[in-house]
């Protein structure tokens, strides 16, 4: 992960935020902080044990979620999270917000499942209203996300449609801004991934679908969104570890993800004068519907993620805090950066 470019010492809030979304927002009394009363006989004015927040139990990251081998499984594209075994964890039962994005308005593409769903849930629980885009075939998953956003007390806007179409992309942004009352977070996350063993097996149609979904749509949606976004807004693009170490079987997909990295860095320079930050997240192997719906070659899915140093794939819930952090105002000097979440396997 890229290093924090800020020079100031970490504040108490920074420390809590970087520990992840699972922490409650209970304040901690620090030595020397206003209102903290040192216990008698304790060096340095440290608070008494009764005043300290009880530490949460540590979790071994190697065993925090399911490990391969996984059951063999295939789905028709685009795939549904509800049909995966094991079902992905998007933070439905674990993510706890602390108001970091209160009053914000976010559009998330691919928000029905996978990483987009995890980001949408986290944003809602941090106080943002959220619009999600997805394909009509993903309606079942999308309904669940809408219910979760509303259960968090936030406004949910469902916008099904195919982002391979330029006119739809423009309409998507317009409808999102209208439904949310504005737009100040954009997450370009939707992706097409189809594994092929050779360039000779990649049809022009597949190549076109991959580029239109992963690159063209990001360009069209961002171009439509920028005029609507105020200073302080954030754009977050989902890149991938394959931009840095492309697998042989993901030639077209890896090409688009490398393009997203470059697009992010260049756009950040353009939009700095508008006060809009642009960053990207580069996941490693994550357990999402992309994988059983053609994203892996036949026979590869049961061992998916086993090659990572942690020995398993990531679950979408594990990357949601990164999307929250990049959208939050306290990362105001961070733009043009790519943040990795790869399980130790290469990346930025």
- What are the C-alpha distances in Å from 245 to residues 251, 255, 304, 345? 11, 11, 16, 9
For the chain, where are the E strands, in sequence order?
105-109, 129-134, 156-160, 185-188, 234-238, 277-283, 338-341
Residue 253 is a catalytic residue: yes
Scan for tokens 């993901």, then name that residue.
250
Backbone angles phi, psi at 182, to 5 degrees: 140, 180
Comparing CA positions, the residue from 339, 320, 322 lying closest to residue 93 is: 320
Place of tokens 């006989």: 41
Question: What is the DSSP secondary structure assignment for residue 259, as one 8-state letter?
Answer: H
Could you tell me the end-to-end alpha-carbon distance of the chain, in angstroms, rounded to an integer?
A: 6
What contacts 171, CB < 8 A, 6 or more positions away? 161
* Structure-token pair, residue 311: 């020995």
In sign, the C-alpha dihedral spanning 253, 259, 263, 264 is positive
| SS3 readout for 181-229 | CCCCEEEECCCCCCCCCCHHHCCHHHHHHHHHHHHHHHHHHHHHHHHHC
CA torsion sign, 305 to 306 to 309 to 314? positive
Find residue 235's DSSP bridge partners. 186, 278
Torsion angles phi and psi, residue 283, rounded to 5: -75, 155
Which of the following is catalytic: 95, 216, 253, 286?
Answer: 253
Active site residues: 253
């Amino acid at each position: 992960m890229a290093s924090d470019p800020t020079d100031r010492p970490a504040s108490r809030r920074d420390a809590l935020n970087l520990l992840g979304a699972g922490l409650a927002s209970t304040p901690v009394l620090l030595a020397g902080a206003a209102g903290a009363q040192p216990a008698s006989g304790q060096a340095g004015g440290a608070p008494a044990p009764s005043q300290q927040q009880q530490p949460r139990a540590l979790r071994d990251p190697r065993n925090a979620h399911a490990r391969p081998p996984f059951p063999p499984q295939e789905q028709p594209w685009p795939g549904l999270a509800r049909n995966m075994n094991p079902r992905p964890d998007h933070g439905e039962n674990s993510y706890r917000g602390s108001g970091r994005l209160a009053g914000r308005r976010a559009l998330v593409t691919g928000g029905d499942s996978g990483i987009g769903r995890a980001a949408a849930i986290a944003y809602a629980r941090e106080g943002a209203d959220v619009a999600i885009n997805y394909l009509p075939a993903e309606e079942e998953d999308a309904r669940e996300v809408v219910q979760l956003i509303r259960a968090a007390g936030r406004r949910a806007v469902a916008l099904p449609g195919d982002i391979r179409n330029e006119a739809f992309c423009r309409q998507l942004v317009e409808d999102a801004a209208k439904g949310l009352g504005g737009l100040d977070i954009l997450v370009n996350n939707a992706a097409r991934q189809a594994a092929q063993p050779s360039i000779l097996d990649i049809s022009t149609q597949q190549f076109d679908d991959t580029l239109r979904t992963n690159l063209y749509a990001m360009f069209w949606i961002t171009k439509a969104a920028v005029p609507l976004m105020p200073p302080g807004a954030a754009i977050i693009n989902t890149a991938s570890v394959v931009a840095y170490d492309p697998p042989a079987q993901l030639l077209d997909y890896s090409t688009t993800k490398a393009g997203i990295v470059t697009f992010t860095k260049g756009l950040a320079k353009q939009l700095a004068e508008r006060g809009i930050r642009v960053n990207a997240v580069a996941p490693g192997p994550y357990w999402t519907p992309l994988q059983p719906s053609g994203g892996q070659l036949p026979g590869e899915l049961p061992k998916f993620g086993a090659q990572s140093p942690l020995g398993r794939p990531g679950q979408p819930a594990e990357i949601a805090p990164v999307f929250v952090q990049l959208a939050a105002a306290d990362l105001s000097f961070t733009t043009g950066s790519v943040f990795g979440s790869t399980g130790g396997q290469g990346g930025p």
